[in-house]
Structure 1
Amino acid sequence: MAVLGQNQYGKAENRVVRITRDGTTHHIKDLNVSVALSGDMEEVHYSGSNANVLPTDTTKNTVFAFAKEHGIESAEQFGVHLARHFVTSQRAIHRARIRVEEYAWDRIEHAGKGAHSFVRKGQETRLTQITYDGSSWEVVSGLKDLVVMNSTDSEFWGYVKDKYTTLPEAYDRILATRVSARWRFNWTDDAQKMPDWEKSYEQTRKHMLQAFADTYSLSLQQTLYQMGSRIIDHRGEIDEVRFSMPNQHHFLVDLEPFGLKNDNEVYLAADRPYGLIEATVLRDGCEARIPADLTNL
């Protein structure tokens, strides 16, 4: 005879981003929240009766609603609020387990602008590819997995619409992307002075981030071009920059069913599908030589 053992259910990996707006200074809490509930759940397993089952979709909605109602002071406190709610509000639920991963962000400091630009902590992987044929060099350096976000100063509207278009125009949105970039040096010959590689990387990354922070964006393509052109303008040792930038979509959550107004505060962070923007920015008169697939390595 078979009997039911330990069991639980819930909604896993709810990606919630909470923006707290203190004037022009913004604060980000970026969490991945998983809910697991257990209690009097024998009948749903034995007979399929859902009489004691709180839908997992409801647990998801609760995560987003609590982000608005209670805010997110810390991952621990947010989890306490959720666990207490599920156990005390549902007679059949005896145990709630809330797992929270928090993704930290550092500010990108930029003079004369509001404090609303961030770079994910942990940051990027630095890369380089050196090719030498016995007489000439090709050095392509870069980075991958540099996650950046502007919590405002981004719009997306005026695009082509057809009968399949459902995306609403946005006049104040989150712009976030995971930057993969490669840049080609114009140092090709031992007779030339070799670049200061460490300084070049530091400064190239700095200009890339500064352009991202300073650009009031009407499209991710525009931001990409500004990042590349700033590198070309400020780093004479670089002739070509190639970017691959997936759009890390953040959608406003509809909280009206819960009687709450979402004033650009609570977002669903969607990891797929995503828009993928790719382009090369060149020094005038130079030819593109970085392979398109190199930015995927």
Structure 2
Amino acid sequence: MGIVLGPNRYGKAETRVVRVTRSGAPGARDARHRIKDVNVSVSLSGAMDDAHLTGDNAAVLPTDSQKNTVFAFAKKHGIETIEDFGLLLARHFVDSQPTITHARVEIHEYSWDRITGGHSFVRNGGEVRTALIHSDGDGGAESVVSGLEDLVVLNSTGSEFHGFVQDEYTTLAPIGDRILATAVTARWRHRSAGTGDWDDSHRAARHHLLHAFAETHSLSLQQTLFQMGRRVLAERDELCEIRLSMPNKHHFLVDLEPFGMDNDNEVYFAADRPYGLIEGTVLTDDAPHAASAWE
């Protein structure tokens, strides 16, 4: 029986970069700053088997060099959108190193809201913008998957759950009116990695996710998930596939009868665990196959 090296990659994970873009004279009252706060993970693959098999590092670009490249590119090129920044990095690593044939760049962006004036900010909640880029270099195959994490949403009514399987271990009662809450993780695949208005696409996808959640009378979180994905794809032609992961943040009515009180869907206990986890993929019927875009 022979033993061989399988697929492999390496890189620098979680390089945290805060890029401040300044306009106006330093210290001037009209000076206005813009913040980009990102976490960049790079992973490279190619003709580097010898590093594993014999310890020969002749083909290896050090991960420290990858980290320094992220910082240098943040200075040299700025960070307009994480999709463009990721494509710029991925193409650079492949095109500049003959032993590297594929680059994977994943970026998370943390948003800040302006408080007042030109240079004071407050971190904007827990929602995170994401991008996953794959590139084989100039002229090669590329893919862009944008998305978000921890988009927390809640409907205080308009949700039911009944008609489910009941076995000897079922204690959950059917319910005709409940709170439906979740923290959405969504990833959507672009048909093309060519230059696009990434900010507009992201804003629109987020908008349609929120409005589909709010406007769907839900009989299950699965139904809501599909309607959210369906609406994004129906409204945005540049997208062909969306994957959603949505934990069911359970809210249970508190029994107030021992205190002589009714509880007409007014007081709930918010349970953090265990929780149902609903995951699904929605795609257009003409979506090109690209399983590797998600890896």
Give the shorter-chain TM-score range: 0.5 to 0.7
Q: What is the number of equivalent residue pairs in this alignment?
A: 170
Seq. identity, %: 59
SS at match of 2:188: strand
SS at match of 1:180: strand
List gaps (5 residues or longer) in structure 2: 1-123
Asked if residue 181 in structure 1 is aligned to residue 186 in structure 2, the reply is yes
**Residues 151, 175 of structure 1: 8 Å contact kept:** yes
- Compare relative contact order (CA 8 Å, sep 6+) and give the higher one, 1 or 2: 1
Q: After superposition, where does 1:167-246 map in structure 2 within 5 Å?
A: 167-188=172-193, 190=194, 194-246=195-247
Question: How much does 1:289 deviate?
Answer: 3.9
Provide the residue aligned with 2:134 in structure 1.
Answer: 131
Please give the root-mean-square deviation of Cα atoms over the aligned residues, in Å: 1.8
Q: 1:214 to 1:279 in 2, by over 3 A?
A: same
Q: 1:136 to 1:238 in 2, by over 3 A?
A: same
* Mapped partners of 2:250, 2:208: distance in 1: 24
SS at match of 2:202: helix
Q: After superposition, where does 1:154-173 map in structure 2 within 5 Å?
A: 154-173=159-178
* Mapped partners of 1:265, 1:246: distance in 2: 22
**Residues 240, 288 of structure 1: 8 Å contact kept:** no
* Mapped partners of 2:265, 2:161: distance in 1: 15
Scaled by the length of structure 2, the TM-score of the pair is: 0.55
Q: 1:291 to 1:182 in 2, by over 3 A?
A: farther
Provide the residue aligned with 2:279 in structure 1.
Answer: 278
Provide the residue aligned with 1:269 in structure 2.
Answer: 270
List gaps (5 residues or longer) in structure 1: 1-120
* Mapped partners of 2:262, 2:227: distance in 1: 35
Scaled by the length of structure 1, the TM-score of the pair is: 0.55
Give per-residue Cα distances to partners, 1:247-284, cap 9 Å, x unaligned.
00000000000101001000000010000000000011
Question: How much does 1:285 deviate?
Answer: 2.6
Provide the residue aligned with 2:3 in structure 1.
Answer: none
* Mapped partners of 1:290, 1:144: distance in 2: 21
* Mapped partners of 2:276, 2:288: distance in 1: 27
Question: How much does 1:124 deviate?
Answer: 1.2
Q: After superposition, where does 1:41-190 map in structure 2 within 5 Å?
A: 122-134=125-137, 135-188=140-193, 190=194
* Mapped partners of 1:222, 1:273: distance in 2: 21
Q: 1:293 to 1:136 in 2, by over 3 A?
A: closer
**Residues 149, 177 of structure 1: 8 Å contact kept:** yes
